[in-house]
Structure 1
Amino acid sequence: MGAWSGEPFGNDSAGDWAWDLKEQTTWDAVRDALAAVVDTDGPVDSDDATTAIAAAEVVAHGLGRPTQVDAYTADVAAFAMRAGAPGGDVVELAVRALAEATDPEGELAELWEDDPEEWDAANAKLRAALEG
């Protein structure tokens, strides 16, 4: 995972996934990315976890409570404008997926164990934005 920050779109996997949002007009792709970690038995793959965190940030954008607004989220903001506000089911799924993706026993948390402060803070901020 090429990462330059602990923010949801501070890594290559999230940026690659966001590229797929350019043509999307519904929340289906976001829902799929979130469900991929919620529906997993056992440890969540780090790429899936990274994508789920990014998808949760997309939900936060759709709610009007983004935690990351920069060049990396320009496509996200455009998607949120096209798709409109996410339904309550998507928001609930985002909260659950964020919890799974950031599980301290998970593969992604292990990758951040040498410098967890920035990543933990970004995830806490995102959780608060989702929970409103």
Structure 2
Amino acid sequence: MGTWDASPFGNDYAADFASELDELPLVERAAAIRGALEDVIREAGYLDSFEGVRGVAAAALVAVQCPGGPSTDSVYGPDEPVPELPVDLRALAVKVLDRVLAPESELRELWDEVDGREWLDELDRLRAPLAASPN
């Protein structure tokens, strides 16, 4: 996986996910975002970075729609609009961020190998509006 920064779309897998979303009809994008979140939660064992990265990108798209949510104006994020997402995805997105940070997460291990403070700060920035929003 090529990674160029700690932002949710700052790597190949997340940029590919954004492109896949852009290719879907608008009515299918929310289901694809939910699917990326559920793929992370469904993994009970070791979480591969592929699923982890896509889950973080999906969580970022949910966080954007929360009151006080961060922007995802990355040039590598989706170019096409994301529909209004169901509120229940906020709690799921928090679980995804927690799972990515847990032991048995390749993404966490990769960021621990370098000084991953910027990445941890980015996840905190995403988590804050998700956790504060009513579900």
Q: Root-mean-square deviation (CA), in Å?
A: 1.7
Contact 1:5 1:11 in 2 (8 A): yes
Aligned length, in residue pairs: 127
2:13 maps to which residue? 13
Note the 1:21-36 alignment, pairs <5 A: 21-22=21-22, 23-26=24-27, 27-36=30-39
Note the 1:60-99 alignment, pairs <5 A: 60-63=63-66, 65-75=69-79, 78-80=80-82, 83-84=83-84, 86-99=85-98
Query: Sequence identity of aligned pairs in percent?
Result: 37
- Distance in 1 of aligned mates of 2:26 and 2:78: 15
Gaps of 5+ in 1: none
Q: Does the alignment pair 1:48 with 2:51?
A: yes
Q: 1:69-88 CA deviation, whole Å, 9 max, x = no partner?
A: 2322352xx332xx12x222
2:125 maps to which residue? 125
1:101 maps to which residue? 100
The alpha carbon displacement at 1:63 in A equals: 3.0
TM-score, scaled relative to structure 2: 0.85
Going from structure 1 to structure 2, the CA distance change for 1:89 and 1:115 (only over 3 Å counts) comes to same
